[in-house]
């Protein structure tokens, strides 16, 4: 038998692939976002965007129109994937400080504040929130970078 060198996927690829797959679990009709929180190569929490558990499933309860909108035109019920992931970790006593977050959409400014407050050290994102929302800049990314959180646009090698 030959000693063939097998390709082992990089952890960054594994975690982002998982975030992409988790996004498919979202009940949001507008956007599907997934997130994975990792500490020292160990997954400590996973999540996706949607209403709090036990409330509504927008695609089932509101059909093609989705949930009611708030005053800014955003989903009135949804937690963002980052929020769900961080809240679940904290609720279950996981050490969030120093962790790395993988998310399919760059953090909005509100999520960026939570990420910074929880002392997450690094964020990998796949797609731009600014492009998705049609706004000029990724405010969340700028905020995090300004205050010392490393933010990386994920590119699969």
Q: Would you say the pTM of this structure is higher than 0.85?
A: yes
- Residue burial 18-56, b: 16+ Cβ < 10 Å; e: rest: bbbebbeebbbeebbbbbbbbbeeebbbbbbbbbeeeeb
Closest to 78 (Cα-Cα) out of 28, 32, 19: 28
Which tens digit of pLDDT belongs to each residue from 97-145?
A: 999 999 999 999 999 999 999 999 999 999 999 998 889 999 999 999 9
Looking at the predicted structure, is the pLDDT value of residue 1 above 60? no
Known catalytic residues are 82
Which tens digit of pLDDT belongs to each residue from 29-69?
A: 888 999 999 999 999 999 999 888 888 777 777 777 777 77
Q: Would you state the pLDDT for residue 91? A: 94
CA separation for the pair 20, 95 (Å, rounded): 23
Query: Cβ neighbours of residue 126 under 8 Å, at least 6 residues apart?
Result: 16, 19, 20, 103, 104, 105, 154
């Amino acid at each position: 038998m030959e000693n063939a060198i097998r390709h082992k996927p990089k952890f960054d690829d594994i975690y982002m692939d998982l975030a992409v797959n988790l996004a498919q679990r979202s009940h949001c009709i507008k956007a599907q976002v997934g997130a994975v929180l990792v500490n020292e190569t160990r997954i400590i929490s996973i999540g996706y965007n949607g209403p709090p558990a036990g409330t509504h499933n927008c695609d089932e309860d509101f059909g093609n129109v989705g949930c009611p909108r708030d005053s800014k035109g955003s989903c009135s019920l949804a937690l963002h994937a980052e929020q769900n992931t961080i809240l679940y970790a904290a609720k279950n006593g996981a050490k969030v400080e120093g962790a790395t977050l993988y998310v399919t959409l760059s953090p909005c400014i509100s999520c960026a504040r939570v990420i910074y407050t929880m002392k997450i050290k690094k964020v990998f994102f796949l797609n731009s929130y600014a492009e998705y929302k049609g706004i000029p800049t990724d405010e969340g990314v700028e905020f995090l970078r300004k205050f010392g959180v490393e933010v990386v646009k994920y590119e699969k090698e």
